[in-house]
């Protein structure tokens, strides 16, 4: 382990009142340097934070963003959760597996692409969605997804549909460790589908309830109780009607 590598791990730990809170970004830094979470990286984090290697390993194996096997230059995650799957995510994933000749969580022979199915990319308004090193690629098709991975393997610049140009996985991991790459403001951060509700609210003059200094919305406790009771009564009445109609 180099001196600068260890120094950056210690820098991350020093950001937090409780040093162990820095474990997650520290593991991202390990991946940015070593391409995966290694035994050496686990021992280093444990030593700096005063934890056991088992405790660090428990965290590294709990979260799926931490990898124990080498990852390619570009991690391609295809959402196959319900909405994306229905909209074509399953088809995209199957197409890429065949095109790249890899299975789930496997890397191409040239070391360029690691393919993985993701349970949810939190972008249902742009389904089906694919992510490259955690940057969004929206409204994908088997054809467009294939073009993206081909361009990445060919060394061409690829830009996220709602974000910056795509960097390598190790570079992205360094950002997740808390070392900015100054690309955060490059490209759009939100699109029409995400902003639709905001537009409707503005057109109709809808506003959130005014909050007090304590964070309360100004609604009285009795008002909340009455609302809850009304909701319970309405639900009970609907269930009764449903039973009577059987």
Where do the structural domains in the chain lie, given as residue ranges? 3-62, 74-176
Cα–Cα distance, 141 to 152 (Å, whole number): 17
Cα–Cα distance, 100 to 122 (Å, whole number): 25
Residue 173 CA: distances (Å) to CA of 31, 80, 203, 215? 6, 23, 41, 35
Antiparallel, parallel or unpaired: β 74-79 and 113-118: parallel
Q: What is the pLDDT of residue 193?
A: 86
Q: Tell me the pTM.
A: 0.80
What is the mean pLDDT, run by run of 10 residues, along the chain of 246 residues? 90 95 97 96 97 96 94 97 94 98 96 95 92 96 98 96 94 96 85 88 90 63 57 48 52
Q: What is the pLDDT of residue 189?
A: 77
Contacts of 22 (CB under 8 A, 6+ apart): 12, 13, 14, 15, 16, 49
Chain position carrying tokens 């940015």:
32
Chain position carrying tokens 């993985």:
116
Cα–Cα distance, 28 to 37 (Å, whole number): 8
Q: Say which DSSP state 22 is in.
A: G
Could you tell me the CATH superfamily of domain 74-176?
Answer: Glutaredoxin (3.40.30.10)
CATH topology of domain 3-62: Arc Repressor Mutant, subunit A (1.10.10)
């Amino acid at each position: 382990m180099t001196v600068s590598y260890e120094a950056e791990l210690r820098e991350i730990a020093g950001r937090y009142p409780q040093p162990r809170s820095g474990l997650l970004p520290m593991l991202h830094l390990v991946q940015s340097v070593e391409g995966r979470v290694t035994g050496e990286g686990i021992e280093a984090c444990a030593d700096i934070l005063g934890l056991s290697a088992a405790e660090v390993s428990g965290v590294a194996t709990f979260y799926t963003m931490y990898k124990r096997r080498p990852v390619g230059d570009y991690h391609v995650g295809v959402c196959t959760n319900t909405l994306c799957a229905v909209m074509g995510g399953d088809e995209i994933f199957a197409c890429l597996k065949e095109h790249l000749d890899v299975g789930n969580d496997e890397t191409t022979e040239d070391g360029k692409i690691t393919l993985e199915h993701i349970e949810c990319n939190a972008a249902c308004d742009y389904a089906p969605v694919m992510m490259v090193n955690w940057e969004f690629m929206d409204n994908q098709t088997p054809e467009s997804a294939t073009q993206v991975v081909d361009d990445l393997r060919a060394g061409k610049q690829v830009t996220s549909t709602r974000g910056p140009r795509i960097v390598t996985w190790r570079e992205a991991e360094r950002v997740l460790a808390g070392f900015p790459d100054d690309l955060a403001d490059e490209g759009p951060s939100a699109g029409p589908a995400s902003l639709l509700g905001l537009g409707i609210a503005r057109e109709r003059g809808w506003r959130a309830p005014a909050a007090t200094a304590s964070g309360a919305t100004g609604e009285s406790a009795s008002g909340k109780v009455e609302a809850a009771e009304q909701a319970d009564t309405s639900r009970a009445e609907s269930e009764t009607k449903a039973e009577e109609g059987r």
